[in-house]
């Protein structure tokens, strides 16, 4: 039997250490015993951007990036996208198991009866400029919820935690729809709890003057599947932001607001917005080869919607979305930009530059085309990502808060700045070169 340890010899001292290996990891804290002398702080791991550092154990989402596998609580994403609904998946992610019929009915009732927001939230949202990006309205409003629910600070209380999680899942579509209506100068539409989770969201976004908004079932199902695909994705940038901020034991609204802000960036959930802008800029299939040439130049643009830190093969979510685009276009009419996207993908999958770097379409490559066909402006794309990811952020936050091994997150640094020096009076200072 091989021993589950790693032997490390420090060539500075000639000493050998045995470090335990568990779950394919050594603990970097075990490196601290490796010292050149009593004054030495001990060896650390240096890993900018956490390329090879696990920050937690988790039982929620499994990804095998080389094989293109994504599972929530063990269930393959393709099966969930085909057979499940977003609220059922949300229950699964939160509770660890698929619900029985009664459990799902109770959960649906609970979520659909927390969809209203305090009237003062509307006043708060009205304070934004008419042209504010809906993602900044969303993030600020979610952060503001902690001011409305003071019990949210009881993060060690299991019941209080679940109440805030349900509140967030329930209210996110309302706040998202209100931020859209605000940016369009339209009156807010209140939730209609008789509709489905997604149908109610579409109603709050689209309804103008109808007593009950008639939701198109194909678009409702398409958005529900998109929500399933975006529900969680283990330790990505926004989830890590949520966990790190939450580790200070701040309330979950503040922690999730940090996740929303992280998602907003163009390298993360803002990428679907960037894809659409890129496709529009290319403008025509004939211009694709010219654009691809630029992408490969040293200072060229990135092919947005391509590449992933974890997936080194086709993102399984992108496969489902590409197939679904056809069903949506049958209802909405074809989005002309799809031809440009398909041609970009065709060239990229054959081109040595992309093949060598294992760059494949990610979840954002085709989702924007569907959102646009459904009539959403590009500013709303990251918001449409944030709504379903809420259950992932909340569940990851709760897993962190209940994990006895976790403490306030506090990485180390390697200091490379000036050594100690004495203060110089202003009249004696020389101009610096920078
Ligand atoms: N277009 C062109 N070249 C790319 C792309 C791209 N989209 N992505 C990576 N590369 C190249 C890099 O330039 C680098 O080339 P080099 O080895 O010659 O220097 C190589 O591929 C490796 O790329 P890294 O940046 O090291 O990969 P990393 O894992 O750090 O980045 C990321 C992953 C941020 C997703 C990156 O692929 C990217 O910027 N993609 C475009 C933005 C995007 O679509 N983001 C959405 C990701 S999915 C999500 O967050 C939901």
pLDDT tens sequence across 298-347: 999 999 999 998 999 999 999 999 999 989 999 999 999 999 999 999 99
Q: Specify the CATH number for the domain of residue 302.
A: 1.10.230.10
Q: Note whether 136 and 242 are same-domain residues.
A: yes
Q: φ, ψ for residue 364 (rounded to 5)?
A: -85, -10
Q: Specify the CATH number for the domain of residue 127.
A: 1.10.580.10
Sheet of 61-64, strands arranged across: 61-64, 69-72, 75-76
Q: What is the mean pLDDT of the chain?
A: 95
Instruction: Encode pLDDT of 334-363 as tens digits.
Output: 999 999 999 999 999 999 999 999 999 999
Mean pLDDT of 203-222: 92
Ligand 1 atom closest to Cα of residue 385: 51
Regarding the beta carbon of 307 and ligand 1, being less than 6 Å apart is answered yes
Residue where a domain stops, chosen among 268, 302, 323: 268
- The C-alpha angle with vertex 109 and arms to 81 and 60, in degrees rounded to 5, equals 45
What interhelical angle do 363-373 and 271-282 show, nearest 10? 70
Q: What is the predicted pLDDT for the residue at 434?
A: 64
Quick one: residue 3, left, alpha or beta (phi over 0 = left, psi -120 to 50 = alpha)?
beta
Regarding the beta carbon of 296 and ligand 1, being less than 6 Å apart is answered no
Protein residue closest via CA to atom 41 of ligand 1: 304
Residue pair 114/170 in contact by the 8 Å Cβ criterion: yes
Number of structural domains found in the chain: 2
Any alpha helices (H) in 185-313, and if so which ranges? 197-206, 217-229, 237-246, 252-263, 271-282, 288-295
Mean pLDDT of 214-234: 96
- pLDDT-based confidence at 432, cuts 50/70/90? confident
The answer as to whether 111 is a domain residue is yes
Ligand 1 atom closest to Cα of residue 362: 48
Q: Which residue reads 């959960």 in tokens?
A: 107
Q: Note whether 107 and 248 are same-domain residues.
A: yes
Q: Which residue reads 């609204």 in tokens?
A: 253
Q: Note whether 205 and 296 are same-domain residues.
A: no
Mean pLDDT of 154-170: 98
Q: Note whether 263 and 282 are same-domain residues.
A: no
Residue where a domain stops, chosen among 373, 392, 424: 373
Any alpha helices (H) in 131-193, and if so which ranges? 134-148, 158-184
Regarding the beta carbon of 359 and ligand 1, being less than 6 Å apart is answered yes
Q: Note whether 296 and 147 are same-domain residues.
A: no
Mean pLDDT of 46-52: 96
Q: What is the predicted pLDDT for the residue at 299?
A: 93
Q: φ, ψ for residue 10 (rounded to 5)?
A: -90, 110
Q: How far is the CA of 308 from the centre of ligand 1 (A)?
A: 6
Element (H, E) at 75: strand 75-76
Regarding the beta carbon of 269 and ligand 1, being less than 6 Å apart is answered yes
Q: Note whether 118 and 163 are same-domain residues.
A: yes
The answer as to whether 254 is a domain residue is yes
Element (H, E) at 30: none
The answer as to whether 90 is a domain residue is yes
The answer as to whether 119 is a domain residue is yes
- Which domain does 346 fall in, by range? 271-373
Instruction: State how far the Cα of 375 lies from the Cα of 222, in Å rounded to an integer.
Output: 13
Q: Note whether 261 and 162 are same-domain residues.
A: yes
- pLDDT-based confidence at 1, cuts 50/70/90? low
DSSP for 373-388, please give it: HTT--GGGHHHHHHHH
Q: Note whether 84 and 215 are same-domain residues.
A: yes
Q: How far is the CA of 276 from the centre of ligand 1 (A)?
A: 17
Q: How far is the CA of 307 from the centre of ligand 1 (A)?
A: 5
Q: Note whether 164 and 244 are same-domain residues.
A: yes
Q: Note whether 204 and 328 are same-domain residues.
A: no
Q: What is the predicted pLDDT for the residue at 268?
A: 87
Residue where a domain stops, chosen among 250, 268, 286: 268
Neighbours of 249 (CB within 10 A): 11
Q: φ, ψ for residue 165 (rounded to 5)?
A: -65, -45
Residue pair 47/56 in contact by the 8 Å Cβ criterion: no
pLDDT surpasses 80 at 2: no
Q: Note whether 124 and 257 are same-domain residues.
A: yes
Q: Which residue reads 């695909």 in tokens?
A: 229
Least confident of 10-14, 206-210, 387-391, 419-423: 206-210
Protein residue closest via CA to atom 32 of ligand 1: 308
Least confident of 245-259, 270-284, 397-411, 415-429: 270-284
Regarding the beta carbon of 271 and ligand 1, being less than 6 Å apart is answered yes
Regarding the beta carbon of 158 and ligand 1, being less than 6 Å apart is answered no
- pLDDT-based confidence at 196, cuts 50/70/90? very high
Stated pTM of the model: 0.93
Mean pLDDT of 53-62: 98
Least confident of 22-31, 68-77, 207-216: 207-216
**Residues acting as catalytic residues:** 268, 308, 364
Regarding the beta carbon of 295 and ligand 1, being less than 6 Å apart is answered yes
The answer as to whether 137 is a domain residue is yes
Protein residue closest via CA to atom 11 of ligand 1: 357
């Amino acid at each position: 039997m091989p021993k589950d340890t790693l032997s490390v010899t420090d060539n500075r001292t000639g000493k050998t250490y045995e470090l335990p290996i568990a779950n394919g990891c050594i603990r970097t804290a075990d490196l601290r015993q490796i010292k050149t002398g009593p004054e030495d702080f001990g060896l650390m791991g240096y890993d900018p951007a956490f390329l090879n550092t696990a920050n937690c154990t988790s039982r929620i989402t499994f990804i095998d990036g080389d094989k293109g596998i994504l599972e929530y609580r063990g269930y393959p994403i393709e099966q969930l996208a085909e057979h499940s609904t977003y609220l059922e998946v949300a229950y699964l992610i939160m509770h660890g198991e698929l619900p029985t019929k009664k459990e799902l009915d109770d959960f649906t009732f609970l979520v659909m009866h927390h969809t209203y927001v305090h009237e003062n939230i509307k006043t708060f949202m009205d304070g934004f400029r008419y042209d504010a990006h809906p993602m900044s309205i969303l993030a600020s409003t979610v952060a503001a919820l902690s001011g409305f629910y003071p019990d949210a600070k009881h993060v060690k209380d299991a019941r209080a935690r679940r109440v805030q999680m349900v509140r967030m899942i329930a209210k996110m579509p309302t706040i998202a729809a209100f931020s859209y209506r605000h940016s369009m100068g339209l009156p807010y539409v209140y939730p209609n709890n008789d509709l489905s989770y997604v149908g109610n969201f579409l109603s709050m976004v689209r309804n103008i003057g109808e007593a009950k908004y008639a939701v198109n079932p194909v678009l409702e199902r398409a958005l529900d599947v998109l929500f399933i695909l975006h529900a969680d994705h283990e330790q990505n940038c926004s989830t890590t932001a949520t966990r790190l901020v939450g580790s200070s034991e701040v309330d979950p609204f503040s922690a999730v607001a940090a996740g929303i802000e992280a998602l907003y960036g163009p390298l993360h959930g803002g990428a679907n917005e960037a894809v659409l802008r890129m496709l529009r800029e290319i403008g025509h299939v004939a211009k694709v080869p010219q654009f691809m040439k630029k992408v490969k130049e040293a200072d060229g643009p990135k092919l947005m919607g391509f590449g992933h830190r974890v997936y080194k093969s086709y993102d399984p979510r992108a496969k489902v979305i590409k197939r679904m685009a056809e069903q949506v276009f049958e209802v909405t009419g074809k989005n002309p930009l799809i031809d440009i996207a398909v041609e970009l993908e065709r060239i990229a999958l054959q081109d040595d530059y992309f093949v060598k770097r294992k760059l494949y379409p990610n979840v954002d490559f085709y989702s924007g085309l569907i959102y646009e066909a459904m009539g959403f402006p590009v500013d709303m794309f990251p918001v449409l990502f944030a709504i379903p990811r809420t259950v992932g952020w909340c569940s990851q936050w709760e897993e962190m808060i209940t994990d006895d091994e976790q403490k306030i997150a506090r990485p180390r640094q390697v200091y490379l700045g000036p050594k100690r020096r004495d203060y110089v009076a202003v009249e004696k200072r020389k101009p610096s070169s920078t």
